[in-house]
Structure 1
């Protein structure tokens, strides 16, 4: 197998698996940059997956090919609203943010399974008929060498996730909103003294993380799982959280880490077709994403510095 053929076999699936992680990790970056730890990314993905699948099944006949696109928008809105629970607990009531995030995970999964049984009479939904499909990018797929590698048989949503990461970087580091957000996460008292509402900024950041988490969960469900059950989102939110830490709480760093984890996930699918991995037992390829996640965190968490006020409730007038 030549290098070009190998890259053409490896890169599209890596992008395919990375997109949900990129979306969710970007949400985690916004939340934690504001000073709110969001362990609930897994639950937000679950809620997004549930809403995306149910909406898709309900309106597939009416919306046709537009169904998956509208589904992810609805999932973003619902997950953003759902994330307000975490914002109220962590920001207004100053509850332990880790405990609140874990509660979000359990609540989302329990609610999703309960409603699925109520709507469909069983523990999982039907398979969607209007998922996202792979496509060739017009003109770009005809580029010699690069075209077959990057622009043939890909999901457009994969490139949207990369573009969105660049947009988030610009917002966070080149706009007044981003400066306020980072100030609240680094030194909330100083931000408050300068007229920035710490509570408002943290609420906005958590709601943004909810929207991105819902986007990531719905994209995963409509590209990979194609239905919803208790096992649709298994560890994806925690991998996204790992990408936030591995990426040093930076939008582009989180994107890079998500691409790395996405590549590790793709190995379980394409490993048999790669000469170097053809003889590796399938079980090792299946656990590779999680092992690499642990190794990445073990190697980098000591050198990664979180925002100074991350996880610390802000009480007006306190230092």
Structure 2
């Protein structure tokens, strides 16, 4: 039973950042802008927020510090994503190339800035993790469920679930969501009824950036005690989650749970007795998430339901 609790808790640690970042990618692509810059956005959001935590941890700690770091991660991710938005929307650049440029820029900027800012001149940013919640009052005492979901958890887990619910409501139950989806399916039709396509696409990319930056912070805080200008390919894995989830919030949640479990097996196999007994090379376990990604994409891409106008620059003068 202890192994089961351990697996569930670890799966949530890996699932939530995937879920948040994939939902961010969904908003961007639903507006018509492909955002493969999620990896770079995660790095930038993680860098700014972890740097803030590193500087402030002597005067603050716990959940107040984490909440401020979340705000900084979302702002920095949104601002960084504006580069992609401007290139893709205003300049009508190839969105794949624009996103790749941001992915290359983010780790370089993070390493350079970290070495310039930190007195020691090193690129790693160390921080003390004071954010784990040992037990949620009342809920942590519930038999079985309390052990699984309300003990040894992070506030970011509940924030991720809240973002999922808000995203589903926003996308399917509001005027904003209807207009966003229209801009990703048929922007000319949306424009003809007075929807500002450029503004909606900017909104989609900035929401994507904010959630991507938040995902970068969540990934670092729940899996490490230092930031080294990398998120271990999580941005690209989130793209696989987005495609497997068919740009639907609830399907994305299931896909994130699946890939989160695969990542858990990859990262914690040495702590699972029955896996250790198999005496399989650790390299095999480390390959599991990426092999699963390839297999899933082969089957899910056949019935892709991607927004029809995703990746297509919109020219307001063309009809």
**TM-score of the pair, normalised by structure 2:** 0.94
Instruction: Give the superposed CA RMSD.
Output: 1.5
Structure 1, residues 90-140: CA drift from partner, whole Å, max 9, x if none?
000100000000001111111111101111244423420244214322222
Q: Does 1:164 align with 2:178?
A: no
- 1:1-319 equivalences under 5 Å are 4-65=1-62, 66-120=64-118, 121-230=120-229, 232-278=230-276, 279=278, 280-319=280-319
Distance 1:104 1:126, change over 3 A: closer
Check whether the contact 1:21–1:240 (CA below 8 A) recurs between aligned residues: yes
Q: CA deviation at 1:169?
A: 0.4
Check whether the contact 1:9–1:270 (CA below 8 A) recurs between aligned residues: no
**Count of aligned positions:** 315
Distance 1:64 1:143, change over 3 A: closer
CA distance in 2, matches of 1:116, 1:256: 36
CA distance in 2, matches of 1:135, 1:299: 40
Matched residue SS, 1:147: helix
Q: Name whichever of 159-168 and 38-47 sits farther off.
A: 159-168
Check whether the contact 2:114–2:125 (CA below 8 A) recurs between aligned residues: no
Q: Give unpaired runs (5+ residues) of structure 2.
A: none
**TM-score of the pair, normalised by structure 1:** 0.94
Check whether the contact 1:35–1:307 (CA below 8 A) recurs between aligned residues: yes
Q: Give unpaired runs (5+ residues) of structure 1.
A: none
Matched residue SS, 1:153: strand
CA distance in 2, matches of 1:129, 1:9: 22
Structure 1, residues 240-298: CA drift from partner, whole Å, max 9, x if none?
11111110011222222111111111113432343442223221111211111111111
Matched residue SS, 1:62: coil
Check whether the contact 2:20–2:211 (CA below 8 A) recurs between aligned residues: yes
Check whether the contact 1:80–1:211 (CA below 8 A) recurs between aligned residues: yes
Check whether the contact 2:29–2:307 (CA below 8 A) recurs between aligned residues: yes
CA distance in 1, matches of 2:122, 2:303: 43
Q: Name whichever of 261-270 and 178-187 sits farther off.
A: 261-270
Q: Name whichever of 4-13 and 304-313 sits farther off.
A: 4-13
Matched residue SS, 1:61: coil
Distance 1:228 1:5, change over 3 A: closer
Check whether the contact 2:129–2:225 (CA below 8 A) recurs between aligned residues: no
Structure 1, residues 220-249: CA drift from partner, whole Å, max 9, x if none?
12221322213x312110001111111001
CA distance in 2, matches of 1:119, 1:226: 19
Check whether the contact 2:61–2:130 (CA below 8 A) recurs between aligned residues: no
CA distance in 2, matches of 1:272, 1:182: 44
Q: Name whichever of 130-139 and 254-263 sits farther off.
A: 130-139
Check whether the contact 1:52–1:222 (CA below 8 A) recurs between aligned residues: no
